[in-house]
């Protein structure tokens, strides 16, 4: 690893001090996206995708390229991938077929709600409990909590979302979770849990669809 644990947390401190109060704006955008999910309309879905596009562009350009790359040269590659993810969300926001989001009473929505709540106040609380205090802690708008939030929102989609939209967040959830073991950031284990929960929802949905087709009555 090209950087030390202390350098890693110093990046957080420099980022938080340099970008304040942008963190409050990013949190406000996230809360707005959750509120919009209650509307279940096509317009609300487009706005949610636009907000996700802004969050991923911010992480790619501001954090990865602007701060993390100073101690970790591969962060430039992360920056590119995060910008690509931003454009994927932007395409959803502006495409012909809009994505709708809704909060339902099923297990999928419960899991989504847990991920969203954890990503906002929960991750910050766990970070403090782990001994990582502001400004040297990952705040919302940085990759780990924001990826968890993204996966939670995507699980609220009531219309089909291309699997390609999930690829980079799921990959980062695996990559980012290594921080729990290599850098002493135990709260990043939640990334792996979020990825497993999302994969579990996928597999369950796939099995249900296969079972429905298998038991469907024959038509003549």
How does pLDDT run along the chain (220 residues), one tens digit per residue? 788 889 999 999 999 999 999 999 999 999 999 999 999 899 999 999 999 999 999 999 999 999 999 999 999 999 999 999 999 999 999 988 889 998 888 899 999 999 999 999 999 999 999 999 999 999 999 999 999 999 999 999 988 888 899 999 999 999 999 988 888 889 999 999 999 999 999 888 777 767 666 554 544 3
Measured on CA atoms in the order 177, 178, 183, 189, is the torsion positive or negative?
positive
Q: Which helix (H) or strand (E) element contains residue 73?
A: none
Burial class (CB in 10 A: 0-12, 13-18, 19+), 71: middle
Q: Indicate whether 112 belongs to any domain.
A: yes
Q: Indicate whether 48 belongs to any domain.
A: yes
Q: Indicate whether 74 belongs to any domain.
A: yes
> Cβ–Cβ contacts within 10 Å for residue 29, how many?
17
Inter-axis angle of helices 5-19 and 22-37, to 10 degrees? 80
Contacts of 212 (CB under 8 A, 6+ apart): none
Cα–Cα distance for residue pair 90/119, rounded to 1 Å: 22
Cα–Cα distance for residue pair 48/46, rounded to 1 Å: 5
Q: Indicate whether 212 belongs to any domain.
A: no
Q: Indicate whether 218 belongs to any domain.
A: no
Nearest in space to 121 (alpha carbons), one of 214, 208, 34, 212: 34
Q: Indicate whether 137 belongs to any domain.
A: yes
Q: Indicate whether 9 belongs to any domain.
A: yes
DSSP 113-155: HHHHHIIIIIHHHHHHHTT--TTSSPPBTBHHHHHHHHHHHHH
Asked if 52 contacts 89 with a C-beta cutoff of 8 angstroms, the reply is yes
Q: Indicate whether 96 belongs to any domain.
A: yes
In total, how many domains does the chain have?
1
Domain around 17? 5-204
Q: What is the pLDDT of residues 31-64, one digit of tens each?
A: 999 999 999 899 999 999 999 999 999 999 999 9
């Amino acid at each position: 690893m090209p950087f030390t644990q202390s350098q890693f947390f110093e990046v957080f401190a420099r980022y938080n001090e340099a970008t304040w109060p942008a963190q409050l704006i990013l949190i406000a955008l996230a809360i707005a996206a959750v509120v919009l999910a209650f509307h279940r309309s096509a317009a609300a879905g487009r706005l949610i995708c636009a907000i996700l596009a802004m969050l991923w562009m911010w992480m790619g350009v501001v954090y990865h390229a602007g701060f993390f790359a100073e101690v970790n040269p591969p962060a430039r590659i992360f920056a590119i991938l995060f910008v690509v993810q931003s454009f994927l969300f932007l395409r959803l926001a502006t495409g012909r077929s809009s994505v709708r989001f809704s909060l339902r009473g099923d297990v999928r929505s419960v899991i989504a709600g847990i991920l969203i709540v954890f990503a906002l106040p929960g991750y910050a609380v766990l970070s403090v409990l782990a001994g990582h205090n502001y400004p040297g802690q990952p705040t919302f708008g940085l990759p780990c909590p924001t990826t968890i939030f993204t996966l939670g929102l995507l699980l609220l989609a009531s219309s089909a979302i291309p699997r390609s939209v999930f690829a980079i967040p799921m990959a980062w959830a695996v990559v980012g979770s290594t921080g729990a073991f290599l850098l002493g950031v135990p709260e990043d284990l939640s990334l792996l849990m979020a990825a497993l929960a999302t994969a579990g929802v996928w597999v369950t949905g796939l099995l249900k669809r296969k079972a429905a087709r298998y038991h469907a009555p024959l038509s003549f």
